[in-house]
Amino acid sequence: MLTSSINRVSALETAPIVAVFDLDRTITRMGTFTPFLVHCVPPGQRTLERLPMAMWLTAIYHLGLISRDKVKARMIDVNIVGSSRAQIAAWADTYVEKCLEGHVRPGALAAIRQHRAAGHHLVLATASFDFYAQVFADILGFDRLIATKSVWDERGRLRAALAGENCYGQVKFNAVQDYVAALIPRPRVIAYSDHHSDVELLRWADEGVAVNPNGRFRRMAVSNGFQIVDWETAAA
């Protein structure tokens, strides 16, 4: 299905094509931030020191008492604040390697390969932090990463903060729009996401694709005329 979609778009336009992929639950089968933190924390410290705080932060977030931005900063503070760039990079390398071994949708890998083979410009747009999302982008062959930006102190140690806003929903959409607007000629855009928070991005794209959508997003995808794909049980 993806191959015919790419061929159809290529036949319609001579402008270059940008393929924008979400990461969590679009390329991967799961969210990536909390598992990354678990990967970084020594096994003996995961439950006794950190799990209660993580559960509390999750609970107050779902109650609407704390923003996504603050939750992410506090999760860093509880788990890996003060870690060096070298240590974070080492954790990111082993974490992404582990994810790619068994936690990636096969259809996502097929779609990325097809876009790359067609010479399209690949953008990974995610709310995940840049320090591990960049590893996903590099290994999978993306040309550009748009992600939540981390903050480091003068000694190269990770701070419990975000540089700017969490790259989610409208913030992600704005960042993708700004990036595409700077490209000449203006390309056609194909956008892939599993989540309703990206519905405006998919509406704006020349072709929006809903990946393994849940009930709510599936209804939105149908009403907006998005292509719906299953990247879990079959390759694209």
Distance CA 87, CA 150 (A): 15
Read off the pLDDT of each residue in 136-145 and give the average, rounded to a whole number.
98
Q: Is the pLDDT of residue 49 over 70?
A: no
Predicted local confidence at residue 8, as pLDDT: 41
Cβ atoms of 79 and 50 closer than 8 Å:
yes
Give Cβ neighbours of residue 163 (< 8 Å, ≥ 6 apart): 149, 150, 151
Domain count, the chain: 1
- Whether the Cβ atoms of residue 31 and residue 126 lie closer than 8 Å to each other: no
Token pair in block for residue 81:
């604040």
The C-alpha atoms of residue 94 and residue 213 are separated, in whole angstroms, by: 29
pLDDT of residue 9: 45
Element (H, E) at 101: helix 85-102
Predicted local confidence at residue 17, as pLDDT: 95
CA 103 from chain centre, in angstroms, equals 14
What's the average model confidence in pLDDT over 37-56? 65
Q: For residue 127, what are the domain limits?
A: 2-229
Domain assignment of residue 234, yes or no? no
Determine the Cα–Cα distance for residues 137 and 72; give it in Å rounded to an integer.
21
- Residue 181: inside a domain, yes or no? yes
User: 38 pLDDT band (50/70/90 cuts)?
Assistant: confident
95-138: pLDDT as tens digits: 999 999 999 999 999 999 999 999 999 999 999 999 999 999 99
Which tops the pLDDT comparison, 65 or 21? 21
SS3 of residue 201 by DSSP: helix
> Model confidence over 148-183: pLDDT tens digits?
999 999 999 999 999 999 999 999 999 999 999 999
Q: At what angle do helices 2-12 and 106-117 cross, to 10 degrees?
A: 30
In a domain, residue 28? The reply is yes
Establish if 13 belongs to a structural domain: yes
| Extended strands (E) in the chain | 17-21, 121-129, 144-148, 150-152, 158-162, 188-193, 207-211, 227-229
122: which strand partners? 19
pLDDT on residue 138: 98
The per-residue pLDDT of the chain, averaged, comes to 88
**Is 114 part of a structural domain of the chain?**
yes
Q: How confident is the model at residue 1 (pLDDT cuts 50, 70, 90)?
A: very low
Alpha-carbon dihedral sign for residues 89, 95, 99, 100? positive
Domain assignment present for residue 180? The answer is yes
pLDDT at 204 over 80: yes
The pTM (predicted TM-score) of the whole model is 0.88
* pLDDT at 13 > cutoff 60: no
Instruction: Report yes or no: 190 and 20 within 8 Å, Cβ to Cβ.
Output: yes
**Cβ contact 27:125 at 8 Å:** no
E strand intervals along 73-194: 121-129, 144-148, 150-152, 158-162, 188-193
- Per-residue pLDDT tens over the stretch 67-96: 788 889 988 988 899 999 999 999 999 999
pLDDT score at 119: 94
Strand-pairing partners, residue 235, are none
- pLDDT of 205 above 60: yes
Instruction: Evaluate whether residue 158 is within a structural domain.
Output: yes
Query: Residue 32: what residue type?
Result: T
Residue 236, in any domain of the structure: no
Percent of residues, the chain, with pLDDT higher than 90? 73
Are 26 and 18 within 8 A, CB to CB? no
* CATH at 193: 3.40.50.1000
